[in-house]
Amino acid sequence: MRLFSRWYPAQRSSAPELMDDPGSDRLQLEQTLGQFRLVNLLLSRIRSLLRRYVLRDMLARGVTHATVLDVGAGGCDVALWLLRAAERRGLSLSISCLDHDRRVLAYARRQVAEEPAIEVLDSSVFDIRGQWDYVICNHFLHHLNDQQVGRFLDLSYQICGRRLLANDLLRSHWSLFGFRVFAALLLHNSFARSDGVLSIKRGFRPHELQRMVERSAWTNSPQSHTDTTARVLRLAPGRVVIVASRG
């Protein structure tokens, strides 16, 4: 067990990321947001997760339209891909993309300016009100401390009608090594290289997320004992995922 424990940093880092600094360079921030598309395409597994837990779920239930909240949506590349993937399957979505950084919001709005099915919302996740069928987030949870993750899980239970899908980073030395190689080859002139390393150090081990889920409203509210399921998955390369569902 001691040998295996060395593969994982013992605790989450609390060091801030450069892109979260409101005074950081705008051009490098936008370059970082643009590079997220490549990271998401090659490393994140978010597309396969959305196909399985959103699109196939809609088809299996005979639902042709759904609403989606994408928390910490960045440049909206995930939302744009999801919308197109839904259209190819004869499905329609209304997607709300949430962020709280003015520079990120401006960039995101340019990316979706010609897409009426996607709206960009300026709000902290903890101030958001409304109802969506699916609440998704990709590489968002690690920006929160443990207490905030718990608050987010409780809030998502209130605003989510069907399913929460939260994809994030496994905190491991293997993940750090692999990302450093990837970043050295493909990520330049942005915050992505340094912030990516910090993101992994701020990431999670599966049992940590499982403990947070077990303490959340997804498993502890009166209704959760009858109509909800919540579990934590581990996927390669270096991903941990929360899937929590109603019905």
Per domain, the residue ranges of the chain are: 31-246
Q: Is pLDDT of 222 > 80?
A: no
Q: Is pLDDT of 1 > 50?
A: no
Per-residue pLDDT at 247 = 82
Distance between CA atoms of residues 74 and 103, nearest Å:
10
Buried b (16+ CB within 10 A) or exposed e, 225-244: eeebebebeeeeebbbbbbb
Q: Is pLDDT of 209 > 90?
A: yes
In this structure, the strands spanning 239-246 and 160-169 are: antiparallel
Supply φ then ψ for residue 116, to 5 degrees: -65, -15
Q: Is pLDDT of 3 > 50?
A: no
Cβ–Cβ < 8 Å for 71, 104 = no
CATH number for the region 31-246 comes to: 3.40.50.150
Query: Strands, E, within the chain: which ranges?
Result: 65-71, 92-99, 118-122, 132-138, 160-169, 228-235, 239-246
Cβ within 8 Å of residue 114, ≥6 positions away: none
131-145 average pLDDT score? 98
Q: How far is CA 164 from CA 63, 119, 180, 225, in A?
A: 17, 19, 30, 17
Cβ–Cβ < 8 Å for 175, 201 = no
Per-residue pLDDT at 163 = 99
Cβ–Cβ < 8 Å for 65, 91 = yes
Cβ within 8 Å of residue 3, ≥6 positions away: none
Q: Is pLDDT of 115 > 90?
A: yes
